Amino acid sequence: DIQHDRGDINNGTFDAYDGFGNVCVTTDTALAGLCDREAENFDVPADRQTTLVALAGGSELTLSSDRLGPRSSDSPTRRLIVVTRRLFVPHGGTAGYLRYLDVLENTASTPFTVKVRAGTTDGFGSLGCDFNCAVQTTDTGTVTLGPGQLWFVVDDGTLTGGDPAIAMVIDGSGKGSTTLVRQRPPTADFSQSDWFTWEYEAVTIPAGGRVAYLHFQVQRTTPAAAAAVAAALASPTRADLVGIDPSLLGDIQNFDVGPPPNCGDGVLQAGEGEECDDGNDVGDDACSNMCILAVCGDGFVQSPVGEECDDGNSVDGDACTNVCLDAECGDGIVHVGVEECDDGNDDDDDDCTLDCEALFCGDGIISGTEVCDDGELNSDTDPDACRSTCQAPACGDAVIDSLETCDDGNTAENDDCNPVCQASTCGDGFLWEEGGEVCDEGVANGTTVGGCNVDCSGLVPEPADMGMPDLGPPVPDMSGGTDMSVPPSPPPGGGCSGCTTGGAGGGVPTLALFYLARRRRRGRFTR
């Protein structure tokens, strides 16, 4: 919910914020009106790179820097104070807050005295309680804002519901430095009662030096709950300052977060929070000059405990790993901007070389899913060449290779180039519809009744009926019964011309025997 152009909170939970809060840096220490958004207010392009890192117990977002304040005499468009916003949110627990750290660096060879204003700075950004926002309590127990206050709580008219209660912790115990804290007065015909600002002045930034300002935003359901967290954050613990370089802690102007008062005397004063005390002010040994035990990420290179570097963060992709060793090829961590890959081995035949360069199609080395790689000779137009995808030439790639007679860039059957990149023809086994083929069974064309014929124009028909001609009606059944097609018997007592002799009662007509023989022959043929 943090907006990357200004670092303000867009909404929070249920209209807690409306783009609050911002920071302004101006050399006009008497400024009473709004800050000039372009010249004095922190505002970077929304597409500018931001950095998110995981720290112990939370995450920190660092926004891109913006240049504010006075102009350079050498370059009138260049401003001399570089402002960077770092925002930290703890994970889990009950503390629940957003920590702002605004770092101001003077790039000039002369010091500058400026005013630093935070909150509603240039007419943009307010709280979500709109026109019913009111101060509920402060560290002094009043509901009136004024100079030197450490924190204050505001809420809308519904103190146990509606918009959440917001606590703003703007100074630390023992080092309060605000000179003005106020709720903006009504403007025009409406009350902008959710506009709040606080200012630190006059702030002198040494030539080539820096200062930093810390504040916390807290959101709770009720004012009492928000006030309890704010009171604790006025004296932040080491956990509340996690991720801040020890060298930067000394630059914070509005919180007393420097070394304990007796750090360096050689006596461990646990009551002052000291973790160690080795009796010196050396920052790079096992006990830092903040009397904090050496730990990777504290910003000090502690050689006695094996650290080669310490950049104050837990990012693995920079020059110093999160175990405080110098980044190098082969450590298994990709050094962003330096290494293309790092697989942590000494195998030069995998996807990452011994020089931590990633292998790629076109480097002349066959790797990964590559079938071929001829480097600069890879081509998508030359016959038989390894393609630009490091795959072998193939039918359908729109290049006619040595074993192909055509290649139309596809493997469709119905055009004039078949799926094996040969000119479509009857008998190739592919149905060439555009060529008028009805069927195509390849070498089986014309060999099977009902299959495709030899010219692919249709199916092979069944053969014609080659049976004997019909020789007439059947002959009588000789076992009995009468075939009405047999001539009548001769008259009694008469002869039988054309009959053979038989038993009593006469013989079988010769013509009947002829018919019988002919029927049997026909029956044997047709059965």
Per-residue pLDDT tens digits for 462-504: 887 666 565 666 655 555 554 544 555 555 554 444 444 444 4
pLDDT, tens only, 180-209: 888 865 444 445 578 889 999 888 999 999
Cα–Cα–Cα angle for 91, 97, 100, nearest 5°? 110
Alpha-carbon distance of 416 to 89, in angstroms, equals 67
Alpha-carbon distance of 36 to 40, in angstroms, equals 5
pLDDT beyond 50 at 395? yes
pLDDT beyond 60 at 79? yes
Nearest to 38 by CA among 98, 124, 103: 124
Global pTM exceeds 0.75: no
pLDDT at residue number 471: 60
Which residue carries 């943009």 as its tokens? 124
Q: Which two tokens stand for residue 482?
A: 């009468």
* 405, 425 contact by CB (below 8 A): no
pLDDT, tens only, 337-358: 888 899 888 877 677 888 898 8
The confidence band for 417, taking pLDDT boundaries of 50, 70 and 90, is very high
Alpha-carbon distance of 370 to 31, in angstroms, equals 66
Alpha-carbon distance of 354 to 348, in angstroms, equals 5
Q: Which amino acid is at 220?
A: R
Contacts of 488 (CB under 8 A, 6+ apart): none
The confidence band for 507, taking pLDDT boundaries of 50, 70 and 90, is very low
pLDDT at residue number 111: 92
pLDDT at residue number 178: 78
Torsion of CA 352, 358, 361, 364, to 10 degrees: -70
Q: Which two tokens stand for residue 511?
A: 């013509």
Nearest to 310 by CA among 295, 288, 291: 295
pLDDT at residue number 385: 96
pLDDT beyond 60 at 32? yes
Contacts of 15 (CB under 8 A, 6+ apart): 128, 129, 163
pLDDT beyond 60 at 520? no
Q: Which of 65-69, 248-252, 344-348 has the lowest mean pLDDT?
A: 344-348
Alpha-carbon distance of 488 to 240, in angstroms, equals 135
pLDDT, tens only, 269-319: 877 778 899 998 777 788 877 787 887 876 678 887 888 988 766 678 888
Judged by DSSP in three states, 163 sits in coil
Calculate mean pLDDT across residues 428-443.
93
Alpha-carbon distance of 98 to 91, in angstroms, equals 11
Alpha-carbon distance of 103 to 262, in angstroms, equals 27
Share of the chain above pLDDT 90, in %: 40
* Residue 351 DSSP one-character state: S
Q: Please, what is the average pLDDT of the chain?
A: 82
* 430, 423 contact by CB (below 8 A): no
Torsion of CA 103, 105, 111, 113, to 10 degrees: -30
Judged by DSSP in three states, 305 sits in helix
pLDDT beyond 70 at 458? yes
Which residue carries 């903040």 as its tokens? 290
Main-chain phi, psi angles of 305, to 5 degrees: -105, 15
The DSSP H or E segment spanning 168 is strand 165-169
* 509, 496 contact by CB (below 8 A): yes
The number of angstroms, rounded, from the C-alpha of 88 to the middle of its chain's C-alpha atoms is 23
pLDDT at residue number 492: 52
Q: Which of 136-145, 234-243, 392-401, 443-452 has the lowest mean pLDDT?
A: 234-243
pLDDT at residue number 186: 46
The confidence band for 49, taking pLDDT boundaries of 50, 70 and 90, is confident
pLDDT at residue number 166: 94
Judged by DSSP in three states, 167 sits in strand
pLDDT beyond 70 at 505? no
Calculate mean pLDDT across residues 330-339.
89
Which range of 250-259, 301-310, 328-337 scores highest in mean pLDDT? It is 328-337
Per the DSSP assignment, residues forming a β-bridge with 255 are none
Alpha-carbon distance of 163 to 193, in angstroms, equals 14
**Rounded to whole angstroms, what are the CA distances from 473 to 301, 477, 512?**
123, 12, 12
pLDDT, tens only, 359-393: 889 988 888 788 999 999 999 999 999 999 999 99
Alpha-carbon distance of 253 to 174, in angstroms, equals 11
Alpha-carbon distance of 268 to 390, in angstroms, equals 66
The runs of H, that is alpha helices, within 91-217 are: none
